[in-house]
Amino acid sequence: MSNKRGKFIVLEGLDGSGKTTQINKLERHLKNKGLEVIVTKEPQADRPIGQLLRRVLTQDEKTDLRVAASLFAADRLDHLTRRDGIIDALEKGAYVLCDRYYFSNYAYNMVDVDLDWIMSLNREAVKIGKPDLHIYVDVPADIALSRVTNRGETELFENLERLQRVHDNYDVLIDLLAASEQIFRVDGTRDSHIVFAKIRDFIDSEIIGN
């Protein structure tokens, strides 16, 4: 086991904000530096709670949205604590890049569910798995939605009214949590290589420190 804890970096943003493109670029950049990198996402595709959530998102399964909000938090705790999960990877010294984390739970689910309650469900994740950095890829709801619609089928939260509210919620949360969390906001409407240059420069100077 490496004696140096790895770094935990989360990508946040609306569906269609370009998170996946940026994670892939970041993975390549960090690997080129010889770092061990694990790329992961929430909800988890290979675990029972995440699979149930995917059925909720595709609307094959109907649940009360409080149930969905708490399942996202449960999937997160499983993601942290499972064998070869986030905590194991960090203890081995890896860089963990995660597509969505508790800011998604707050921003998406506070539309239907009390934010304090969602935060209480995530208290353990904040305690044992606070990210070193949240990168928020900021794209307006209409642009995000048009990118998602071009991909084909849309899921539960992928409509303009919801994404506009989620976008507003991210703004509120970034202000609310600026003192307790490290957050880097980047304009995701620019060309993907320009967006990446900003993310790379921030990570090189603030997270890797070279």
Query: Cα separations (Å) of 29 from 17, 32, 39, 126?
Result: 20, 5, 13, 27
108 contacts ligand TMP (rule: CB under 6 A):
yes
Residues 6 or more apart whose CB falls under 8 angstroms from that of 127 comprise none
12 contacts ligand TMP (rule: CB under 6 A):
no
Choose the binding region for ligand TMP from 88-96, 99-107, 127-135, 183-191 (rule: CB under 6 A).
99-107
What binding mask, one character per residue, do residues 113-152 give for ligand TMP by CB under 6 A, x or -? ----------------------------------------
Report the residue from 105, 136, 137, 169 that binds ligand TMP according to the rule CB under 6 A.
Answer: 105
Quick check: 50 and 44 in contact, CB under 8 A? yes
Report the residue from 25, 100, 134, 167 that binds ligand TMP according to the rule CB under 6 A.
Answer: 100
Q: CA 113, CA 64: separation in Å to the nearest integer?
A: 10
Per-residue b/e over 2-18, b at no fewer than 16 CB within 10 Å? eeeebbbbbbbbbbbbb
Report the residue from 40, 44, 70, 104 that binds ligand TMP according to the rule CB under 6 A.
Answer: 104
25 contacts ligand TMP (rule: CB under 6 A):
no
* Strands 183-187, 37-41: pairing kind: unpaired
Choose the binding region for ligand TMP from 1-9, 97-105, 167-175, 192-200 (rule: CB under 6 A).
97-105
Report the residue from 15, 132, 138, 181 that binds ligand TMP according to the rule CB under 6 A.
Answer: 15
